[in-house]
A and B are shown apart, each in its own frame.
Chain A
């Protein structure tokens, strides 16, 4: 185990992938010479030479070339600096990468990995603060994961790279440097998928992911002091989706809250709620509660952001209310 930040854990995973798999390539904007604007790719160009390179600011070329290189046996890992930038080249992920295996009945595949990051931070403008995971989770053919810890930032990235399908790993910028955690670096690479119960409790199941996991855990502690015992599930992957863990938890708690930083309408929380309604309505003793951004654009000013994005206090309040239902 080594103490490292989420960003350092990503760097270690990339180092391992480049070291162990000769068919990997790493490229994107500013990733080689300067090691990425968040430092996640630092030192890798020096170590791996021309397998790590800088590209023009051309998201279609970055993602499209990743599709083509993957079709011909490479395993490209590309960085889209901000998830908002993926929108200018969504074609290459949704119309292209996601179709390769299906349409060719497996004669062609596109095992590429996209690393990107999202989330609001104080001052980040409306074009650098969106949470767009539901766009990608809506696309069969893609694998979508959102790591919440340094260990998962490492492990899930490796799982995505090892996976034979196009995968997008959505990191969260607020997690990169804010603390260090002990990270195991040499475990076997797990297949993609699998949620994790990160706090056990008897009264409410909270399903959440990415930066909201920590907020939900903190809120659960507050709720505990008011007598509400909360179980928290870090969903980790939206595709493949582990509903088994969610339903097992609900069988115990009978109450469901979904917490995400994305907008409420059409957010992935709606999918969780719908699946529970379809498959396990009889488990519920209370209406499902969604805690999310209440459908808004995201302003830059910190106090304005705070008025929209679920806080620990906000989640805790909702938990106590749901606990008393």
Chain B
């Protein structure tokens, strides 16, 4: 059902059209994007596709995926992906979630570990760790663009998006992704107060990867996250911020590959 060089195609999940990048062949690796949809030119995609078939959907409202009427909560996203997993022709799926998508992946895994073989969470959001007056996650809407840029990347000058150089079409996707993220995650900001309670339900091997210079959400948050998932492993990736898959694609895929081969 897919070619080795597949580009974006459309999945129909219970009547919802989902733009999806597909690449590679073999074990099914479902990848859930973070604040922004995954760039089809991203190096890590090709590297990851050497180890399986990467399936990377754009959540409704993100990328080119339309958002159905009244589809506007994380609850909807979680159930969409539960449905999508059910529709994949494989007993088990490997799930990788980045940032906001890590939150969704954790929710999905807590709900249906039995359909997963492994779970990789990359700087996932979704839970509340610190006290009520200490936000865990940088407010990417309320804080200045300069601060968000600086705290997102180990090397912002090299990796942060250059809006002046972006094509109009890419810029619209960027703005669309921001809008969808705002809809789903404005309040409570980027977490589900109930999720921590249910994380122990995840009973597949879990790897948490964190950029050591992540200023959106710190490695300490990741360690606490890991502590809530029995048997999970926490690893840092050097010279990376909130997007280790972009700043260190080789190191990132190497860690993932090693974990998948265990």
**A and B together in one complex:** no
State the A residues within 8 Å of B (CB): none
